Amino acid sequence: MSHTSDSMLAAIFDMDGLLIDSEPVWMSAEAQIMKDLYGIDLVKADLMPFQGRSTLAFCEGMVKRFTDAGIVIEDLLSGLLDRMGQMITTAALLPGAEAILHWFNDQKIPLAIASSSPLHFIEAVVSRHHLPVHMFTSGTEVNASKPHPAVFELCAQRLSMPVERCMVWEDSVNGVIAGKAASMAVVAVPEKNHPTPEKFAIVDARCNSLLESLEILKVDGFIWPISRR
């Protein structure tokens, strides 16, 4: 299929849990810092609601949940970011991440990463893996984190693209909600055995991996899944 008309579209990718296998790293860092600073033991069920959200949202959530623990947001945030700054580049690329980004780059389609992670984390990952992406937007740059659409709306502005001409790839429920709230087409690539798969029912398309998504793109072109909306 010809891709000549696809230049009017833009592709936006989340980073954590989609391009890189960083969700276990984030959860480990969050659990470690809460244990080290406040002696609180967290399990995966405590951490899942913050998947796809900003580090500040996690810290605010911990303050609200553990009201008697004496948690200071600034201290928790600083400690968590320091720890993840040391760990983020250890997260491996997920299958298909490099291939799909290079495919879009080869098609001359505007490409960006919109992540809840700080900008310097995004830049470090892109540099570490030599990814062909040059436009980044961080949830730390907006007033509300995913599931609010602000980070995707800012990303569209930076790409000089209307939101309805943007397609988002996301792995988290919060990210999916944010993408749909921004009026973008959303392709979900949730983790295998996600505890609440029904929450992805609002997406325009769902794939088991970025590799599967890429194979569909090669056949149907970048109008997928916008043409199915």
Give the whole-angstrom CA distance, residue 177 versus residue 183: 10
10 pLDDT band, cuts 50/70/90, is: very high
Out of 14, 36, 68, 204, which one is annotated catalytic?
14
pLDDT per residue as tens digits for the range 78-130: 999 999 999 999 999 999 999 999 999 999 999 999 999 999 999 999 999 99
Predicted local confidence at residue 145, as pLDDT: 87
Out of 16, 41, 106, 204, which one is annotated catalytic?
16
- In the numeric block, the tokens 């001409």 are attached to 165
Predicted local confidence at residue 227, as pLDDT: 56
Predicted local confidence at residue 229, as pLDDT: 56
Predicted local confidence at residue 226, as pLDDT: 63
pTM of the model: 0.86
Predicted local confidence at residue 23, as pLDDT: 87
pLDDT at 2 over 50: no
201 pLDDT band, cuts 50/70/90, is: very high
Least confident of 4-18, 42-56, 105-119, 166-180: 4-18
Smallest Cα–Cα separation from 114: which of 3, 5, 10?
10
Residues 88, 15 contacting (CB under 8 angstroms): no
Predicted local confidence at residue 199, as pLDDT: 87
Residues 208-229, mean pLDDT to the nearest whole number: 82
Least confident of 3-17, 45-59, 178-192: 3-17
Active site residue 204: no
- Omega cis (within 30) before 225: yes
207 pLDDT band, cuts 50/70/90, is: very high
Convert the chain into a string of H (helix), E (strand) and C (coil).
CCCHHHHHCEEEECCECCCECCHHHHHHHHHHHHHHHHCCCCCHHHHHHHCCCCHHHHHHHHHHHCCCCCCCHHHHHHHHHHHHHHHHHHCCECCCHHHHHHHHHHCCCCEEEEECCCHHHHHHHHHHHCCCCCCEEEHHHCCCCCCCCHHHHHHHHHHCCCHHHEEEEECCHHHHHHHHHCCCEEEECCCCCCCCHHHHCCCCEECCCHHHHHHHHHHHCCCCCHHHC
Residues 173, 196 contacting (CB under 8 angstroms): yes
Residues 187, 204 contacting (CB under 8 angstroms): yes
Predicted local confidence at residue 1, as pLDDT: 35
